[in-house]
Amino acid sequence: MNRIIPIIRKEFIHIRRDFRTLLIIFFMPVFMLLMYGYAINLEIQNIDLAVLDHSGSPTSRELVAAFQGSKFFTPRYFSGSESAIESLFQKGEAKAALIIPADFARTINGPVPTAVQVLIDAGDSNTAQLMQNYINAVVQLYNAGRGVTAPFEVNTSIRYNPTLKSAYFFVPGLVALILMMISALLTSLTIAREKETGTMEQILVSPVRPFEIIIGKVVPYLFLAFADGILILLIAHFWFNVPITGNLALILFACFLYVGVALSFGLLISTGARTQQVAMMSALMGTLLPTVMLSGFIFPIASMPKVLQFVTYLVPARYFLPVIRGVMLKGNTLFHLWLPLGALVLMGTFFLTISAKRFKMRLEV
Amino acid sequence: MQRILYLLQKEFRQVFRDRTMVAIMFVVPVVQTLVLGSVMTTDVKNIKLLIYDADGSAASRELGGRFINNPYFHFVGYAESAADIHEALDKWQAQMGLFIRPHFGRDLERGLRPEVQLIADGLDGNTAGIALGYAQGILTSFGQNLTVIRPTVVPLVSETRLWYNLNLESKHYMVPGLIGLLATTVTMFLTSMGLVREKEIGTLEQLMVTPIRSSELMIGKVLPFVLIGLVEINVMMIAAFLIFKLKLAGSYFLFLGVSLLYFLTTLGLGIFISTLAETQQQAMFIAWFFMIFLMLMSGFLTPIANMPEAWQNVTYLNPLRYYVNLLREIFLKATPLQFLWREIIPLAAFGALILVASALKFHKRVS
């Protein structure tokens, strides 16, 4: 124990001396949160809709007005043939096209359902899918206006996030991403740096034990990253107005645990890497993409291929996300969340033990 | 020239000496293309659904059956009460509840327009929105098939045709973006760290006392990463074809050309970062900082059109925006060069500006 404290102190001195890194550590999450918070928005509005109105009648203009009336579409009339649409898509002047047949005004009141044709630039499949939904909604609304009604009424209630705000979903997710990256990147470089600059030998000849070095290296960054976590939560709550419905202490406890896991993961990378460059690239590849892609941060796990669904069990953020989202938005308690929290404890212990083992092996070599 | 060659030799030896580094540079992109391509779909599938059928009539069972048999929904069970639905949502056991009230079937026959309730977990707004869209679709078609009330007005229907990406494969849209992202990672990060590394471990002084000029030093340090970057994007192109059957629809040389133009920017940024940082850790964090900006403001993950107006204007300052756009146009639409100038000119202009400015700054620092 006595030997751990000097190591902690030494790490703190390193951190304090490196003012630039310190600045980045605190400035970066704020910057990221603001950028992400505003940049990630999966709703689309004002889709450019090219209208080829072969009918040119008051009835067809009514339909176009229904599109105009929704906030999703900005219709613009184009004359010409359907082949002109391809170049409209290529030039990016339209994302979708509505083609109204010449006999529209006559057939719409006839005995068989009339069809209008919609072309969608599906290069971006997500947007295309949303556009399809919006078009259906507009058509349904138009039909309802003409007196076509369903024989029953649908009542929709949306819980936890009634206005379907993206920020409510992404901002707690960002806490997971930022904490993981900051923590893993910070520790991944510490041991690699000692090796690269040659100070490792000095540590090796001192009487400290591997586990003491490992703990001594983790503790300072634990505080740093935890402070970062609190900063992010403050911004999430006060700037993005994400409510905290559950227990604040539980959130903080979960953050602390998660930061610990992330730091141990960074350390694990560090013990294996010979240079800082390798450590950095491994940490970047090992944290950024899995956390963004394989944790449910943006893409729902249930929609992934089966094999990758199993891989998600190895990603720490997978366990942290339901905790932070659950406590902040659903008011979940420890009773609901002991399983993911337990998984985090296991992961952290595992990473730390392996790091200490691998570190010892290097010592003997 | 001779001196640059020696330096190149040294750099390549340094890069390839480290097996881990080689693996990171060439295996990781392929694995990532594989994983990300299949994950990066915003398609919503397997929505966990709970049904509370308080009616139990033929009509209500028919409606429930339509939800259960729909491939987008994953039926988790019948609830015993409305409160059960809320509890299941709380516990993450269901994402949507369908609540059919008592006397649904009877009221339907009498034309009383009974109410069907959908309860959705709105936490993930995007998923919830799409899931509700599916549910509406099922309900609409259920209503249309009912013969109870014959409609007096026939509905308008829309026939949708999708262009360029018939099966709505999001990977085909994402993979070109991924190439842009990984090209940035490799060239910008490695250049900046490579230059700073010499500073940090003190070998820069040794290089300075050799007769090499600072411009030669810069070219020698940067050129290897241009080559590695080029190899990398080719590897990814082949991987995209082998794994996802994504063929380069447009011109290959156009693809290489715009990639080289984009490298001007990333290498310029790499050099610029190396003049700011003293240690590799700092270089990495600063590079990361640029990376986040480039990535988020490029439309790689989320459409630029969705951003607030002010942010949309900021994206015009982002070279990656132009590069990702170009990659998508070339890969998916085979858009000819004549339609691409709007993207190519700013890309080239930014690249040249950034590279020249950074080179001057580097030159000053070293002298």
On the CB side of A142, how many CA atoms lie within 13 Å of its CA?
26
Percent of chain A with pLDDT over 70: 92
CB contact under 8 A, A336 and B89: no
- Res. A295: pLDDT tops 50: yes
Out of A125, A158, A275, closest to residue B128 by CB: A158
From B306, B356, B42, select the one nearest B169 (Cα to Cα).
Answer: B42
Distance CA B155, CA A176 (A): 47
Residue A63: pLDDT above 90?
A: no
- As a whole number, mean pLDDT of residues A205-217 equals 78
Look at residue B215 and give its three-state secondary structure: helix
pTM of this prediction?
0.76
Determine the distance in angstroms separating the CA of B42 from the nearest CA of chain A, rounded to an integer.
Answer: 6
CB nearest B113 (choices: A47, A151, A274): A151
Name the DSSP letter for residue B155: P
Q: What number of other Cβ atoms are within 10 A of residue B233's Cβ?
A: 22
Residue where the block lists tokens 């940090």: B200
Contact A160 B122 (CB under 8 A): yes
What are A5's two structure tokens? 């404290």
pLDDT at B284: 81
Please, what is the Cα angle at A164 between A170 and A121, to 5 degrees? 85
The answer to whether B236 and B321 are in contact (CB under 8 A) is no
Quick check: B7 and B220 in contact, CB under 8 A?
Answer: yes
CB contacts, 8 Å: A94 with chain B = none
> Which pLDDT does position B156 carry in this prediction?
64
ipTM for the whole complex? 0.71
Q: Mean pLDDT throughout A63-90?
A: 83
Best of A85, A154, A309 to disrupt the B interface (most B CBs within 10 Å) is: A154
Where does the pLDDT of residue A365 fall: very low under 50, low under 70, confident under 90, or very high at 90 and above?
very low
Best residue in B34, B164, B298, B317 for a mutation probing chain A (most A CBs within 10 Å): B164
pLDDT tens, per residue, chain B with 367 residues: 777 788 788 777 877 777 777 777 777 777 777 777 676 666 677 889 999 999 888 888 999 999 999 888 999 999 988 888 888 888 888 889 999 988 888 888 887 788 888 888 888 777 887 888 888 888 888 877 765 445 555 666 666 666 655 555 666 777 888 888 888 888 888 888 888 888 877 777 777 777 777 778 788 888 888 888 898 889 888 888 887 788 888 889 999 999 999 999 999 999 999 888 888 878 888 888 888 788 878 887 777 776 777 788 888 999 999 999 899 888 887 778 888 888 899 999 999 999 999 888 887 776 6
Of A32, A121, A326, the CB nearest to B163: A121
pLDDT digits (tens, 9 = 90+) for A19-28: 777 777 788 7
Q: Which of B112, B111, B130 is nearest to B121 (CA)?
A: B130
Integer Cα distance of B359 and B355 in angstroms:
6
Q: Cα–Cα distance between B219 and B7 in angstroms, integer?
A: 9
Cα(first)–Cα(last) distance of chain B, in Å? 20
Q: Report CB contact under 8 Å: B116, A330.
A: no
Q: Is B309 on the interface with A (CB under 8 A)?
A: no
Cα–Cα distance measured from residue B156 to residue B150, given in angstroms and rounded to the nearest whole number: 16
From the number of C-beta atoms within 10 Å of its C-beta (0-12, 13-18, 19+), residue B94 rates as buried
Per-residue pLDDT for A76 more than 80?
Answer: yes
Give the strand pairing for A114-121 and B156-163. parallel
The pLDDT assigned to A83 comes to 78
- Average pLDDT (A69-77) is 85
Sorted by where each begins, the domain ranges of chain B are: 47-145, 170-366
Q: Mind listing the domains of chain A with CATH numbers?
A: 4-40+164-364 (no CATH), 47-145 (3.40.1710.10)
- Three-class SS state of B117: strand
A253 CA: distance to closest CA in chain B (Å)? 20
Q: Could you give the CA distance from residue A72 to residue A66 in angstroms, rounded to a whole number?
A: 11
Whole-number pLDDT of residue B165 = 54
CB contact (8 A) between residue B114 and residue A273: no
Query: What pLDDT is recorded for position A320?
Result: 94
The region of weakest confidence among A224-228, A356-360, B33-37, B114-118 is B33-37
Round to whole Å and give the CA distance between B355 and B367.
18
DSSP label at residue B302? S
**Residue A171 token pair:** 């901002």
Chain B residues with CB-CB distance to A196 below 8 A: 200-201
- As a whole number, mean pLDDT of residues A86-91 equals 76
Q: What angle do CA A202, A203, A208 make, to 5 degrees?
A: 140
In this prediction, residues A222-234 reach a mean pLDDT of 88
Q: Is the pLDDT of residue A124 over 70?
A: no
C-alpha span between B348 and B209 (Å, rounded): 35
Question: Which of B121, B126, B161, B309 to mutate to test binding with chain A, by most A CBs within 10 Å of its CB?
Answer: B126
Q: Does A305 touch chain B (CB under 8 A)?
A: yes
Cβ neighbors of B258 (< 8 A, separation 6 or more) are B323, B326, B327, B330, B340, B344, B347
How far, CA to CA in Å, does A191 sit from each of A13, A186, B297? 15, 10, 34
The residue of chain A with its CA nearest to that of B186 is A281
Contact A320, A258 (CB under 8 A): yes
pLDDT at position B154 is 60
B189/A153 touch (CB, cutoff 8 Å), yes or no: no
Beta strands per DSSP E along chain B: 47-53, 73-78, 96-100, 115-121, 156-163
Per-residue pLDDT tens digits for A266-281: 888 888 887 777 888 7
- For the domain covering B47-145, report its CATH number: 3.40.1710.10
> Which member of B45, B156, B278 has the closest CB to residue A139?
B156
CA distances from B55 to A117, B102, B134, B138, B148 (A): 39, 4, 23, 19, 18
**B126 to chain A nearest CA, in Å?**
7
B21 has a chain A CB within 8 A of its CB: yes
Please provide the average confidence, as pLDDT, over all residues in chain A: 82
Give residue-wise pLDDT tens across range A131-140.
887 888 888 7
Q: Would an 8 Å CB–CB cutoff place A18 in contact with chain B?
A: yes
A157 chain-B contacts, CB cut-off 8 A: 117-120
Instruction: Mutation target for A interface from B117, B146, B284: give the one with most A CBs within 10 A.
Output: B284
- From chain B residues 227-256, the ones with a CB under 8 A of any chain A CB are none
What's residue A341's pLDDT?
Answer: 92
> Distance between CA A283 and CA A277 in Å, rounded?
10
Cα separation, B15 vs A159, whole angstroms: 53
What pLDDT score does A82 carry? 78
The answer, for B165 touching chain A at a CB cutoff of 8 Å, is: yes
Which chain B residues are closer than 8 Å to A120 by Cβ?
160-163
3-state class (DSSP) for residue B47: strand
Are the beta carbons of B288 and A189 closer than 8 angstroms?
Answer: no
Those of residues 196-215 in A touching chain B at CB distance below 8 A are: 196-197
Nearest C-alpha of chain B: how many angstroms from A121?
5
B316: helix, coil or strand?
helix
**pLDDT at site A363:** 53
Q: Which of A131, A245, A270 is nearest to B158 (CA)?
A: A131
- Residues 6 or more apart whose CB falls under 8 angstroms from that of B249 comprise B330, B331, B332, B333, B334
Chain A within 8 Å of B351 (Cβ-Cβ)? no
Given A28, A46, A308, which is nearest B35 (Cβ)? A308
- Closest CA in chain A for residue B104: A152
- Residue B188 in contact with residue B290, Cβ under 8 Å? yes
